[in-house]
């Protein structure tokens, strides 16, 4: 008897029909002899609809009560799923974040889980019930409802799996696994059987779109995560620690696992900075205060001692970012500010790369052979990222996919 945590995303729960399909999948898994905890997102676009309602009654909805409002989306889907399950003869019980013991801090809108008090869930499971938990939400120690941030039902699922020691945490959506590249860009992209947590963190920007926080939590608690589709029976992709994969680091040494790509990228360059200024601290503090997530950051110091900083943000944050850069322009002593929203990010990912030279050169050659200019480069232990012109993204991804022989 294994305990399995499943999570169904909003795209799997758009209509009452979808909910019945999911209920039947759960029935099947239950009949195979498993104990089940099922976490759900809100149906379809419910969260956006609720946000829209809030914006119709207030210019700036206050975060505490906005969380109460947004939390209802998952209460609707989890109760409907429990109703559908009971109707199929499956003894099921729906629990809100509070009832499921999902304790969080009080950062409304993006609360962090501090603990899962699992007494209630354990009692229900020991009574043979399927437990359906509202994702995306929790409760503070003062009994205020919180939400964990957009697309955070994954986090609820992984937290449940970690807390209750589940054998697997299965993430179901309309994507059936993690691919070597975005299949919309590369028709020969191949689904991976498995991938390491670190690699998945880098690839999460496309495809299965798991919230990076949930992958981090999975990594920290060694939760085996399976990404699969609600709409077919295909085997998904297992995300686990590298050492557990048949292809451990030694064996995959010369292997890039996938190509990540992202077009929701805008680039800001701050040029001609005099040395000695506490520029980067001041600039990025201000951006953080404005709640802008900065992705890539590159700083270079040229011959004259002056340096340039380039960073990327989501496109929707570009104008807010430029406002802030202009505000601090003088105090950080910048000569010039450039920006562009016609850029894209392409990344090769592979845990084996850190121990083997030559990947960077091979990547740059593949891109420049296509006549594509590389504007910015940044690397981590397991990935190399280039910023290029958006219009050439597809060519770059295809060339890299072929160069690193990902189509097998």
Asked whether the CA dihedral 52, 54, 60, 62 is positive or negative, the reply is negative
Q: Rank residues 71 and 279 by Cβ distance to its own copies and give the closer one.
A: 71
Give the nearest distance from C-beta 70 to its own copies in angstroms: 8
Asked whether the CA dihedral 10, 11, 15, 17 is positive or negative, the reply is negative
Regarding 117 and contact with its own copies (CB under 8 A), the answer is no
Q: How far apart are CA 271 and CA 299, in angstroms?
A: 10
Give the nearest distance from C-beta 17 to its own copies in angstroms: 8
User: Under a CB-based contact definition with an 8 Å cutoff, are residues 12 and 228 in contact?
Assistant: no
10's enclosing H/E stretch is: none
Regarding 103 and contact with its own copies (CB under 8 A), the answer is no
204 Cβ contact list (under 8 Å, min separation 6)? 210, 211, 212, 215
Using the contact rule CB under 8 A, the part of the chain among 57-65, 103-111, 301-309, 383-391 near its own copies is 57-65
Regarding 116 and contact with its own copies (CB under 8 A), the answer is no
Regarding 280 and contact with its own copies (CB under 8 A), the answer is no
Q: Rank residues 61 and 258 by Cβ distance to its own copies and give the closer one.
A: 61
Count of residues of this chain found to bind its own copies when the rule CB under 8 A is applied = 42
Eight-class DSSP state of 193 = S
Regarding 68 and contact with its own copies (CB under 8 A), the answer is yes
Adjacent-strand bridge partners of 138? 146
Q: Pairing relation of β-strands 130-134 and 92-95?
A: parallel
Regarding 94 and contact with its own copies (CB under 8 A), the answer is yes
Tokens 């986090």, residue located:
155
42 Cβ contact list (under 8 Å, min separation 6)? 10, 13, 50, 73, 74, 76, 77, 136
Regarding 16 and contact with its own copies (CB under 8 A), the answer is yes
Q: Rank residues 119 and 330 by Cβ distance to its own copies and give the closer one.
A: 119
Regarding 64 and contact with its own copies (CB under 8 A), the answer is yes
Using the contact rule CB under 8 A, the part of the chain among 87-95, 105-113, 175-183, 253-261 near its own copies is 87-95
Q: Rank residues 66 and 226 by Cβ distance to its own copies and give the closer one.
A: 66
User: Under a CB-based contact definition with an 8 Å cutoff, are residues 105 and 112 in contact?
Assistant: yes
| Interaction site with its own copies (CB under 8 A) | 16, 19-20, 23, 50, 53-54, 56-62, 64-66, 68-69, 71-72, 75-76, 78-84, 86-87, 92-94, 96, 98-99, 120, 143-145
């Amino acid at each position: 008897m294994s305990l399995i945590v499943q999570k169904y995303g909003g795209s799997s729960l758009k209509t009452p029909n979808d909910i019945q399909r999911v209920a039947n999948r759960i029935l099947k898994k239950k009949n195979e002899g498993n104990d089940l905890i099922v976490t759900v997102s809100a149906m379809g676009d419910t969260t956006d609809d609720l946000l829209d309602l809030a914006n119709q009654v207030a210019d700036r909805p206050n975060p505490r009560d906005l969380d109460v409002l947004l939390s209802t989306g998952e209460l609707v889907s989890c109760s409907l799923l429990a109703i559908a399950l009971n109707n199929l003869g499956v003894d099921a019980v729906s629990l809100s974040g509070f009832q499921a013991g999902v304790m969080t801090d009080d950062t409304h809108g993006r609360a962090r889980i501090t603990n899962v008090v699992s007494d209630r869930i354990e009692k229900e499971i020991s009574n043979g019930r399927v437990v359906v938990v509202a994702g995306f939400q929790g409760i503070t120690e003062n009994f205020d409802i919180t939400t964990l941030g957009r697309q955070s039902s994954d986090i609820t699922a992984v937290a449940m799996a970690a807390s209750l020691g589940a054998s697997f945490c299965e993430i179901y959506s309309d994507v059936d696994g993690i691919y070597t590249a975005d299949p919309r860009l590369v028709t020969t992209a191949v689904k991976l059987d498995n991938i390491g947590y670190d690699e998945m963190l880098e690839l999460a920007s496309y495809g299965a779109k798991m919230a990076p926080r949930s992958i981090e939590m999975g990594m920290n608690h060694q939760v085996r995560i399976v990404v699969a589709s609600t709409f077919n029976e295909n085997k998904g992709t297992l995300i686990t620690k590298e050492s557990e994969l048949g292809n451990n680091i030694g064996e995959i040494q010369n292997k890039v696992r996938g190509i990540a790509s992202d077009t929701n990228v805008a680039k800001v360059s701050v040029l001609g900075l005099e040395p000695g200024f506490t520029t980067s601290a001041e600039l990025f503090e201000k951006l953080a205060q404005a709640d802008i997530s900065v992705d890539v950051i590159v700083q270079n110091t040229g011959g004259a001692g002056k340096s340039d900083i380039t960073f990327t943000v989501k496109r929707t944050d570009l104008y807010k970012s430029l406002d802030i850069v202009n505000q601090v322009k003088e105090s950080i002593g910048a000569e010039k500010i450039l920006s562009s929203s016609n850029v894209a990010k392409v990344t090769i990912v592979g845990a084996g790369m850190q121990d083997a030279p030559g990947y960077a050169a091979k990547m740059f050659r593949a891109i420049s052979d296509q006549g594509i200019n590389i504007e910015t480069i940044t690397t981590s232990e397991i990935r190399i990222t280039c910023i290029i012109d958006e219009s050439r993204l597809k060519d770059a991804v295809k060339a890299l996919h072929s160069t690193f022989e990902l189509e097998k």
